[in-house]
Structure 1
Amino acid sequence: METETSFSQIAPPVFDGQNYHLWAVKMETYLEALDLWEAVEEDYEIPPLPNNPTIAQIKTHKEKKTRKAKAKSTLFAAISTNVFTKVLTLRSAKEVWDYLKEEYEGNDRIRGMQVLNLIREFELQRMKESETIKEYQDRLYEIANKVRLLGTKFPDSRIVEKFL
Structure 2
Amino acid sequence: MDDRIEEGGSTTRPPLLADSNYDYWKNRMKWYLKSQDEAIWRATQNLWTPPTTIVNGVITVKSENQWSTTESVTCAANSKTVSIIQCAVRPSVFKIIQNLKTAKESWDALQLTYEGTKSVRNSKLHLISTRFEYLTMNDNETIADFEKNLRYIANESIALGEVIPESKLVRKVLISLPEKFSSKIDAISESTDFENLRFDDLMGKLRTHEMTLAMRSRDKFKSKSVAFKTDVEDAPVKTDEQQLIHVQLALVTKNMGKMYRRFNMTKLNDYTSSNQKGNRSFQKKNESEGGNQRVTKGETSKGRYRFEKEQIQCHECQGFGHIAAKCANTLERQKKSFIST
TM range (shorter): 0.7 to 0.9
The answer for the alignment partner of 1:91 in structure 2 is: 101
Question: For residues 41 and 148 of structure 1, what CA distance do their matches in structure 2 show?
Answer: 17
Question: For residues 112 and 68 of structure 1, what CA distance do their matches in structure 2 show?
Answer: 30
The answer for the alignment partner of 1:37 in structure 2 is: 41
Question: Which one-letter code corresponds to 2:143 in the other structure?
Answer: I
Question: How far is 1:81 from its partner?
Answer: 2.1
Q: What stretches of structure 1 of length at least 5 have no aligned partner?
A: 1-7
Question: Which one-letter code corresponds to 1:29 in the other structure?
Answer: W
Which is higher, the Rg of structure 1 or of structure 2? 2
The answer for the alignment partner of 1:23 in structure 2 is: 25
Residues 128-157 of structure 1: per-residue CA shift (max 9 Å, x gap): 333211210121121122122222242222
Question: For residues 68 and 152 of structure 1, what CA distance do their matches in structure 2 show?
Answer: 28
Question: Which one-letter code corresponds to 1:158 in the other structure?
Answer: K
1:127 to 122, 131, 137: 137
Q: What stretches of structure 2 of length at least 5 have no aligned partner?
A: 1-9, 52-61, 175-341
CA separation of 1:152 and 1:73: change in aligned 2, threshold 3 A: same
CA separation of 1:123 and 1:27: change in aligned 2, threshold 3 A: same
The answer for the alignment partner of 2:15 in structure 1 is: 13
1:137 to 135, 141, 147: 147
TM-score (norm 1): 0.76
Residues 12-38 of structure 1: per-residue CA shift (max 9 Å, x gap): 122223343442232222212212123
CA separation of 1:31 and 1:161: change in aligned 2, threshold 3 A: same
CA separation of 1:108 and 1:65: change in aligned 2, threshold 3 A: closer
Paired residues, number: 151
The answer for the alignment partner of 1:107 in structure 2 is: 117
Residues 81-139 of structure 1: per-residue CA shift (max 9 Å, x gap): 22112221222222211211222222222111111111111222222333211210121
Question: Which one-letter code corresponds to 1:17 in the other structure?
Answer: D
Question: For residues 93 and 159 of structure 1, what CA distance do their matches in structure 2 show?
Answer: 35
Question: For residues 132 and 97 of structure 2, what CA distance do their matches in structure 1 show?
Answer: 35
CA separation of 1:115 and 1:9: change in aligned 2, threshold 3 A: closer
Question: Which one-letter code corresponds to 2:16 in the other structure?
Answer: V
Question: For residues 144 and 9 of structure 1, what CA distance do their matches in structure 2 show?
Answer: 27
Contact kept, 8 Å, 1:76 with 1:84, in 2: the verdict is yes
Q: Does 1:76 align with 2:86?
A: yes
TM-score (norm 2): 0.40
Question: For residues 171 and 133 of structure 2, what CA distance do their matches in structure 1 show?
Answer: 11
Question: Which one-letter code corresponds to 1:89 in the other structure?
Answer: N
Cα RMSD over matched residues?
A: 2.5
